[in-house]
Amino acid sequence: MSEIVDFLNRGAATITPAITEKVLRHLPQWKLEFTQIQAPLFPHLVDQLEFLADAVEDTLDGAYKELPYYAVAQAVFALIYSHKKVGIIPDSLLNLGRADDSGIARAVLIQNEKAFALYAAAQNVEWSKVTSYA
């Protein structure tokens, strides 16, 4: 997992306010796109991406002001990465195509657990359901 964390941290370091604004404009479309993900080996991926998208949206819109910028930058990177069809593992690979997306989303949640748990509580979202990795 450390390679994924390193990849995530390097990617998040490239996220600028201009990139976050662009992502914010695309989030409604991406949220719909994420609901169409068919990844039976990664059953929590859709919920995790939707959670990250909501957190980014609420933070950038000013509805939630407590999420640290590095958590937002990592979430934005994870959303951009998951939106792309080609990554470390191409999404078209049956059963494995979303493994990298799942790993990156999980890494964001794990690295920022306290901040996202507080966000989940503020939004009346059950944190244990977001972080389940069954």
Domain ranges in the chain? Answer: 2-130
The DSSP output letter for 128 is: H
pLDDT in tens, 105-132: 999 999 999 999 999 999 999 898 888 6
124: left (phi over 0), alpha (psi -120 to 50) or beta: left
Predicted confidence (pLDDT) at residue 134 exceeds the cutoff of 50: no
Q: Rounded to an integer, what distance in angstroms lies between the CA atom of residue 65 and that of residue 100?
A: 29
Long-range contacts of 32-37 (CB under 8 A, 24+ apart): 33/83, 34/82, 37/98
> What's the average model confidence in pLDDT over 86-94?
54
Assess contact for 129 and 119: CB atoms under 8 A.
no
The sign one gets for the Cα dihedral 41, 43, 48, 49 is positive
* pTM for the structure as a whole: 0.89
